[in-house]
A and B are shown apart, each in its own frame.
Chain A
């Protein structure tokens, strides 16, 4: 496998796409530098989504700020609130009930499932394979139903609070039964979907060898999450998170780093996530879901990392009188932008958006630390 893709020196024209484009689920601008329809270089400009969340969070009470972190992203909203709450818990030294930790992990893994199904659906749509795309979205719908059942909303669930999870997210016996039933159906559907995708030779020939990110480059560009694992690096933050200690799961890796590897990566991770949820449901400890006996104290800047569907998410802030100081959020897409630009090199213009999509971008998450110059 080649270590580095060498773009040609000559660039014929530039084709800017965006900010509104069918292949992108969020606004961003990409400038493609092409020669004879082959992309020689790509430049992604973000900052279109900048809403200044970190500045809004400055000085807010910590409970309010936690609810606000959820609005950073509509896909991995639970991951943001979970990590933000974890930051406060680390700073205040709060031990949460074991049952709450399990419910958080169930929510996190359900979110990973819906995010990965979204990835598959969106990827197939960019490939113009409407049928596969609709199948993936259909499977995703049962996960959304489960999230709606537990969280009470389809996108922003507000599940984690400092000291545990919200009592309304308690897993009753009936909910557990529904979870098990739906997960069985989803697993069957996902296996069928994977079978169809891998047995479709035209589809495989279309995605094989497209958007390659060599392992060396991926490490150099600080790529994170499934995009890194698809290049053969078994790096998953879940393996060193104390929350995930009781669970037995495999870190999936693929070797090629192309679109096919990335797609298979997500498909296989879906099965691992279902496995984790099953384990959590089997061993769900009894007890309360929230411990409200904590006290607010001041603390220095706390750093917290967590593995979200797209990679490693980082939150940090300090607490002062129960208010937030110096909040920083770094989302996985921030470190994957380099890989997105790199993956486009040497591929056809039609594949450029696919190469960006294969890294599972979430620029709405990412657009926060941008300086805006007044016109």
Chain B
């Protein structure tokens, strides 16, 4: 393990982008960061709101029409190496909003996130639990370390 992956493992900045989910996942993720009970900082994961600082982009929600361009722009702003973690059922496969019509395509939902930007890790759950976020972000790390 070189100094590159050694340092990368010990300082990870995640950025959270919510793209129109029901708020449940967003708050659970904020909970994972802000609640002393979960405290994501003890795994050296820091929350940032600046795409230039971020390593991991955590996306929640089914990517509504107005959120497509901002999401792409934010993704492009993150310098390499970067990872995208799709958190929640909506981000993983569109959730109820995309799939309830059956074969009829939804006009409002551009997602899931896979359709818009490449996704490296998927965390299922409706809504995702803070522990799942922690394990998802930590589990996606080996990919980041090798990049």
Contacts and interface: CB of A to CB of B under 8 A. Distances in A.
Tell whether any CB of A sits under 8 Å from a CB of B in the complex: yes
Interface string B87-112: 00000000111001100001111000
Given A74-B26, A137-B34, A364-B21, A154 B127 contact: yes
Nearest to A51: B97
Interface string A35-69: 00000000000011111110010001000000010
B67 A48 contact: yes
B37 interface: yes
Contacts of B25: 74, 155
Contact of B65 (A50, A56, A71): A50
Interface string A82-120: 000000000000000000000000000000000000100
A74 B21 contact: yes
Contacts of B27: 25, 74-75, 118, 155
**SS class, residues of chain A in contact with chain B:** loop
A163 to B, nearest CB: 23
A60 B101 CA distance: 10
A153 B36 CA distance: 20
A170 interface: no
A187 interface: no
A74 B127 contact: yes
A25 B20 CA distance: 11
Interface in A232-274: none
A73 B20 CA distance: 11
A141 interface: yes
B129 interface: yes
Interface residues of A, number: 43
Nearest to A49: B20
A20 B24 contact: no
A149 interface: no
Contacts of B66: 19, 27, 47-48, 50
8 contacts: A21-B49, A50-B20, A51-B109, A75-B24, A75-B27, A134-B36, A138-B36, A364-B23
Given A27-B67, A49-B64, A77-B22, 7 more contacts: A25-B30, A48-B66, A48-B67, A52-B107, A74-B21, A74-B22, A75-B24
Interface of A: 19-22, 25-27, 47-53, 56, 60, 68, 71-75, 77, 118, 121, 125, 130, 133-134, 137-138, 140-141, 144, 153-156, 362, 364-365, 367, 372
The 8 closest A-B pairs by CB, nearest first: A74-B24, A74-B23, A155-B24, A155-B127, A22-B49, A137-B35, A74-B22, A49-B20
